[in-house]
Structure 1
Amino acid sequence: MNIAATSVKFGQSVKRQEDGRFLRGKGKYVDDMILPGQLYAAFVRSPMAHARITGLDIEGASGMPGVRRILTGQELVDAGLPALPCGWAITSRDGVPMKVGVRNALAVDRVRYVGEPVALVIAETQAQARDAAEAVMVDYDDMPALVDVLDATADDATLIHDEIAGNCAFDWELGDAAATESGFAGAAHRVALTLRNNRLVPNAIEPRAINAQWDAGSEELTVYMTHQNPIGMRMFYAAAFGLASEHKLRMVSPDVGGGFGSKAHNYPEEVAVTFASKLVEGPVKWTADRSEAFLTDAHGRDHLTDVELALDAKGRFLALRVDTQANVGGYLSSSGSLVPTYMYATMLSGQYAIPAIHARVRAIYTNTCPVDAYRGAGRPEAAYVIERIVDVAARELGIDPAEIRRRNFIRQFPYQTPVVYEYDSGDYEKTLDAALELADYRGFAGRKAESEARGKLRGLGLAAYVEACGIGPSGKLAKLGGGAGMWESAEVRVHPVGTVEVLTGAHSHGQGHATTFAQIVSDRFGVPIENVSVIQGDTARIQAGTGTYGSRASVGMSATLRACNQIIEKGKKIAAHLMEVDYDAVEFEDGIFSSKDSNVTIAFAEMAFAAHAASGFPTDEIEPGLVATSFFDPPEFTYPAGVYVCEVEIDPDTGTVEVASFCAADDFGNVANPMIVEGQVHGGVTQGIGQALWENALYDPDTGQLMSASFMDYGMPRAGGVPEYKLVFSGTPSPSNPLGMKGCGEAGAIGSPPAIINAVCNALDVRHVDMPATPEKIWRLCQQGEQG
């Protein structure tokens, strides 16, 4: 058999290897698992946004059928269970460390958002657990609820954490304030805008779920969890539960039905359920229902921002000043301090050569669900700020939106921004040209006239985004407040018959790792992709890793490539002995070892068998077997970038906004699998359309109740509400990893919201519209236009 003939190449579109079992309903999810002696958990949740717990009566519920145990917050604290940590240390601009409100797995004496867990019921069936949870009696002393940052920072605002003045977790800054002020002082034009980045609910298809089992005999804990970083969770859980060694704790994250960042955090429910399994000495399972997910899955975004841009007489940017109040919810979540600081303010330069930038960020506690990373995590908020103010500047200075961007693009790489990051590579003007051509930018006037003839309003919007991906360099992240390394590992095992296993610390929750990681191996070894298995998500099998978030495929795949290269180097040594030539004379290409000094060729599978047979080479010089391990810590982030062009058509009689056309030109560096990347862009853009037009997690300002707590009230994008996307890739390879990749998973959600809102403002001929641009909001603006 010619093995090389069936291998696939890096950069080739290959159907996803994992989809067959998903389409047949053969996926393995946490909620599918029923363990021997299975018990079930249900939470008693606070119906109040802010209240003191004055009484907690579990006696009646404890005697109900099937109930094994009911746990309270005080009981967990007394047992030594630590509070949930925030993983990133931020220091305020006055040098004071951030103020972290204590967050226990179950509330002890006070609740700070609707849905906060107060007690945990364990029973023999799910129905029994839920019935008993409803029977637990909790007395609350209601306190004022604060859901908006402006109310929470008022002089007379109630303190959400008594020890934290002004409800401010930190008051942080980045950039050169003096240089920025100088830029404004010499400016010919100053443009200012106040905008909100609306709060979102992640809404993965699969809700959060956990099934924890304590083995009292071996004192080992096995936790099945729907999570993006099971290996990272093992470190915290081992410490929290007092396990003498991490090998006593096995974390397994099987198939994960979507995450978008929301499953990368440390949640109180999972900690409480795991601790409960130790107390009852049996397996305990909890799966969130959709109502719980709306209330308690970490929300995204929710910024209130004042932004000012200084320009010279020719429309060139001189300085940018940003003041953001970030709503972090009732507690600082795992990355709640990182997202509005080093994931946000560091990206405010966008694609532009802005000489001076200064950002101030205040993190404000409110009586809402904690906020954490959600697809893009800080990068969408930054892109929205810079792309909206650039569009407003173009409008007020009378410059074409494409031209003002072109005039200010960064052109030399690497480029050191005024806000920490050094961009690796790019050709922003080329990407802009590709997007404009794809969108037929010059033909817009004709399309606009045609819409007007039908009584509709048509608008066009641009957005040029850049993001930081490949969340890596451990040393740099430590300087930004990170507490752990962000490298990735891979172990490549070649079996005697030439089949290959890849063990990776990365973990897929929809990205197609079983295909793209196998594609790297198939290309490098020249073996069929069907002969490559990718193993992930089980700490009993994976030695180390840091999970998947922030488009880290380039990190995990680079570790895999390096391990493959080690295999090839050993294979060349073995082949040299088999061919009886010098090692330096051996070449390897398309799955074949060869040498100009020999007429013998050896296929990769033949070499693999020889490596295990160990009879054709001296084993005192070359060890038998074929296994390689690599750890890859990138020297720098990668910086994908792109330009999006959106056209909308608005019906002024109903306020309905139709996305008539959406064109995306992206620079993702080298692309492993274009088909999968296209799917990632489709998904991200769709989520961005959802944020721009429909989605909004809205709390009642008086009671703190989530008013958009179901799909009846929370608008989600549907297939009929999005166009057929037009995509083009215009890549400049990244020098930060051996594959030249940049990352693509979050791009669509970063660049699309500003493009859509810019198009809406263009259609309505207004200065600004806050997201979401709902039909009611747009209809009212249309009526005002008619009256004005």
Structure 2
Amino acid sequence: MTETSERYVGRSVPRREDAALLTGRATWTDNIRLPGMLHFAVLRSPVAHARILSVDVGPALALPGVVAAFTGEDLADDFAIGLPCGWPVTEDIKIPDHPPLARGEVNHVGDGVAVVVARDRASAQDALELIEVSYDELPAVVDVEAALADGTPLVHAELGTNHCYTWPLAVGDVDAAFAQADVVVEGRYLQQRVIPSAMEPRAVVVNPEPVGGGFTIYSSTQVPHFVRDILAMICGVPDSKLRVVAPDVGGGFGSKLNVYAEEALALALARRLGAPVKWVEGRSENHIATTHGRGQVQRIAVAATREGTILGMRVNLLADMGAYLQLLTPGIAVFGAFTYCGLYDFGAYSFECRGVFTNLTPTDAYRGAGRSEAAYAHERIMDDLARALDMDPAEVRLRNLIPPFSQPCTVPSGVMYDSGDYDACMRKALDLVGYEDLRKEQQRRRESGDPVQIGIGIGNFTESGGLSPSKVAAGVRLQSGGWEAATVRMTISGKVEVVTGTSPHGQGHETVWAQIAADALGVHPDDVEVLHGDTAVAPFGRDTYGSRSLPVGGVAVHLAAGKVAEKAKKIAAHLLEAAEDDIEFSGGRFSVAGTHAPGVTIQEVAMAASLAANLPDGMEPNLTADTHFDPPNFTWPFGTHICVTEVDTETGRVRIQRYVAVDDCGPIVNPAIVNGQLHGGIAQGVAQALYEEARHDDAGNPTTATLADYTVPAASDLPNFELDQTVTPSPTNPMGVKGIGESGAIGSSPAVMNAVIDAVAHLGVTHIDMPATPEKVWRAIQEAR
């Protein structure tokens, strides 16, 4: 271990996480085996809506290996409260009770009715079939528009309505903008439900600690600190008695940004039985018990001049809550309110979202939550506007982009974006894809009557990333991630420990945080250990979601490491008997400016700080620093994605010929990790556009309950992604970084769908809803003809 003059930020340092993942040495929650561990399984409702007349767990108890079985009524006193909603978006929002096990009524297929605890997982699962439940089935509500009609059955009769909330926003004189417009274009777009489908389904293990009376909870979660704090409330256990560990987590995509019934059940059962308990979700169970994403009906209208200048925009949403409000359910659609205006500059904007209950699995965060839905709507309506004006869709966009800005700028929705140069980004993407040549090829195919037509789709977007701050952001109060914590310390050996409050599940924090700390302290990244995901090691944190890890958590590491370097400089000046202002720090070595003396390394300073025998008067021992970074505003990554599709007009089959993305996430710490995040996000957006949809019949039964029915694309279904960047630093943090984790999922679905429709627009097709399956595309062509 030596000091180094190399810089690591900005380089594609190989991910240190991958060796364990690729060689089978990762620790998943399901890998955890504890002495005397019991397993539990959840009996789930097979109907979407029913009164529970009786539940008899007696037959299950007779099965060998079964230790206990409980109904919701049996466990009612084990919970101080039901599962809470953490984002009540209005004062009059309606929040139904959500017990960890249903009592009296089930409200969606998959609602938990009883649990069985056994000595092995198979016995617990087998015993579920012996539980006798009598249901009085009730009418189910599955359509979000029909749910608000007079006479529609109620999901929760005690609420008296299926209406959850109405959240409005208005900026400028929208009525005047529409009144003076030469053209008004309206669109109705569907955001179908999607299932997050993380590689690792959810799992939880709870171990009662023999000393101290506390509990260690291992959970495949994105939010260990949230799990600790919320389980303390649900189960009435002091948070000081709960240690939550997120081991290796195989993806989350927002679905693990939640505290679920099974985590509360695991804690309650471990407390009751005095033994470790485990629950592991099956894949089909995942389709009905883990939150779904999206689920919206979008109505959007733009008013414009005949030259294509946008004057105003109206947005009206119906957002499907599902049967209950999970942690962030009502806020997801509202969060998008501030980006439906996209990158475009106009004077008047209104937004209204109505949350609606249905007898379906609850919705919640899914990669790009709220922002992806917004980008889809504003990019679809931009293409519709271009068709109405007989203009090129790229030209319409370029005419309306917000001019370049390097300091916060108020946008049509009333919030302040941090920085942007949208014109440069979009033109770079157009040049990279060869836009003009593609239009010529498209025209040639149309004129020749080629059955395989090409379409070009543009997806411009910006997103509120860096999910923060704790206080009012740009004059609008939003639920957000808030501050983030970091501790950086150098040990007596000169090694570096970084403790972060963020909790990765594939993002590469260990690698990137090591790069940041290494540069600040002049050491090699291999000499930096990054500790995370354990509330005993990192007691303070706000966890990982909303593209916040780098611009909040990584910046906290940067600031804490800077504090360590500043303290080391004071000690070095003392050791070198020089004035602090004369000390230079380069390559991990402190020296006196203008001299040729060898100076001292930061490792030598760390040893001196630990021994404390020769420190400046009044200085505390050790090189360590804590930081809580609370940014003044969100960051606003942006980009232009362009998709080129081939559509077979005889079969409806869609093939992506090219996919180009130019993104701006500010200065890049690790280009390979940025590209990896974009690859994954784009894949999910393509999947929503062409493949994925969580479907239900009229009774609320899922018809995509397995991966045989729910189509997740394979690598062979995806094109090569051509990626490039522009760099516009954010003024909201000292690193200028913005975040990239969700960008790919935001720009991709509108780019793909616009390309599909563009390929067949000359045949009279102007609208197709996601997913654009071959049958759906073929039918649209036949109906247009």
Give the alignment's TM-score, normalised by structure 2: 0.97
Indicate the residue corresponding to 1:179 in structure 2.
Answer: 173
Aligned residue among 602, 605, 627 for 2:603: 605
SS of 1:465 mapped into structure 2:
strand
- The count of residues paired between Structure 1 and Structure 2 equals 776
Q: How far has the Cα of 1:227 moved from its partner?
A: 0.6
Indicate the residue corresponding to 2:729 in structure 1.
Answer: 733
Q: How far has the Cα of 1:446 moved from its partner?
A: 4.3
Instruction: Give percent identity, aligned residues only.
Output: 42
Indicate the residue corresponding to 1:150 in structure 2.
Answer: 145
Rounded to whole Å, the distance in 1 between the matches of 2:479 and 2:115 is 31
Letter in 2 for 1:647: V
Does structure 1 residue 572 correspond to structure 2 residue 569? yes
Does structure 1 residue 277 correspond to structure 2 residue 275? no
Does structure 1 residue 102 correspond to structure 2 residue 101? no
Aligned residue among 363, 368, 384 for 1:371: 363
Q: How far has the Cα of 1:568 moved from its partner?
A: 0.7
List aligned pairs for 1:514-593, cutoff 5 A: 514-552=510-548, 553-593=550-590
Contact 1:231 1:546 in 2 (8 A): yes
Counterparts in 2 of 1:158 and 1:346: CA distance versus 1, 3 Å: same
Q: Deviations over 1:494-547 (max 9, x none)?
A: 112211111000011000001000010111112111111111000111120010
Indicate the residue corresponding to 1:714 in structure 2.
Answer: 710
Structure 1: which 4+ aligned runs deviate by more than 4 Å? 449-454, 477-485
SS of 1:75 mapped into structure 2:
coil
List aligned pairs for 1:66-105, cutoff 5 A: 66-91=65-90, 97-105=92-100
Rounded to whole Å, the distance in 1 between the matches of 2:89 and 2:183 is 34
Rounded to whole Å, the distance in 2 between the matches of 1:781 and 1:157 is 31
Letter in 1 for 2:51: R
Q: How far has the Cα of 1:487 moved from its partner?
A: 0.6
Does structure 1 residue 473 correspond to structure 2 residue 469? yes
Indicate the residue corresponding to 2:294 in structure 1.
Answer: 301
Indicate the residue corresponding to 2:659 in structure 1.
Answer: 662
Letter in 1 for 2:230: F
Q: How far has the Cα of 1:700 moved from its partner?
A: 0.5
Indicate the residue corresponding to 1:3 in structure 2.
Answer: 3
Contact 2:470 2:483 in 1 (8 A): yes
Indicate the residue corresponding to 2:432 in structure 1.
Answer: 438
Residue range with higher mean Cα deviation, 470-479 or 157-166: 470-479
SS of 2:566 mapped into structure 1:
helix
Contact 1:228 1:263 in 2 (8 A): yes
Indicate the residue corresponding to 1:230 in structure 2.
Answer: 224
Indicate the residue corresponding to 1:47 in structure 2.
Answer: 46
Contact 2:78 2:268 in 1 (8 A): no
Q: How far has the Cα of 1:784 moved from its partner?
A: 3.5
Indicate the residue corresponding to 1:328 in structure 2.
Answer: 321
Mind listing any 5+ residue stretches in structure 1 that lack a counterpart? none
Rounded to whole Å, the distance in 2 between the matches of 1:611 and 1:87 is 44
Q: How far has the Cα of 1:114 moved from its partner?
A: 0.4
Rounded to whole Å, the distance in 2 between the matches of 1:240 and 1:381 is 32
Letter in 2 for 1:108: R
Q: Deviations over 1:48-78 (max 9, x none)?
A: 0011101111111122212221121122223
Indicate the residue corresponding to 2:457 in structure 1.
Answer: 461
Q: How far has the Cα of 1:305 moved from its partner?
A: 1.4
SS of 2:157 mapped into structure 1:
coil
Indicate the residue corresponding to 1:359 in structure 2.
Answer: 351
Over the aligned positions, Cα root-mean-square deviation in angstroms equals 1.6
Contact 2:415 2:474 in 1 (8 A): no
Contact 1:8 1:528 in 2 (8 A): no
Q: Deviations over 1:749-784 (max 9, x none)?
A: 001111111111110112111100001011122333
Indicate the residue corresponding to 1:313 in structure 2.
Answer: 306
Contact 1:175 1:418 in 2 (8 A): no
Q: Deviations over 1:405-448 (max 9, x none)?
A: 11111115322123242001010000011100110111103433
SS of 2:330 mapped into structure 1:
coil
Rounded to whole Å, the distance in 2 between the matches of 1:147 and 1:778 is 25
Letter in 2 for 1:398: D
List aligned pairs for 1:602-641, cutoff 5 A: 602-618=600-616, 620-641=617-638
Indicate the residue corresponding to 1:265 in structure 2.
Answer: 258
Aligned residue among 639, 642, 645 for 2:639: 642
Q: Deviations over 1:693-722 (max 9, x none)?
A: 010001102x21110111111111211111
Rounded to whole Å, the distance in 2 between the matches of 1:265 and 1:327 is 17
Give the alignment's TM-score, normalised by structure 1: 0.96
Q: How far has the Cα of 1:277 moved from its partner?
A: 0.7
SS of 2:74 mapped into structure 1:
helix
Residue range with higher mean Cα deviation, 657-666 or 590-599: 590-599
Q: How far has the Cα of 1:737 moved from its partner?
A: 0.8
Indicate the residue corresponding to 1:256 in structure 2.
Answer: 249
Does structure 1 residue 742 correspond to structure 2 residue 738? yes
SS of 1:548 mapped into structure 2:
coil
Contact 1:581 1:597 in 2 (8 A): no
SS of 1:475 mapped into structure 2:
coil
Rounded to whole Å, the distance in 1 between the matches of 2:196 and 2:474 is 28
Letter in 2 for 1:146: V
Rounded to whole Å, the distance in 2 between the matches of 1:716 and 1:593 is 54
Rounded to whole Å, the distance in 1 between the matches of 2:415 and 2:474 is 14
Q: How far has the Cα of 1:166 moved from its partner?
A: 3.0
Residue range with higher mean Cα deviation, 66-75 or 499-508: 66-75
Q: Deviations over 1:170-203 (max 9, x none)?
A: 0121114x71111101111100111101110000
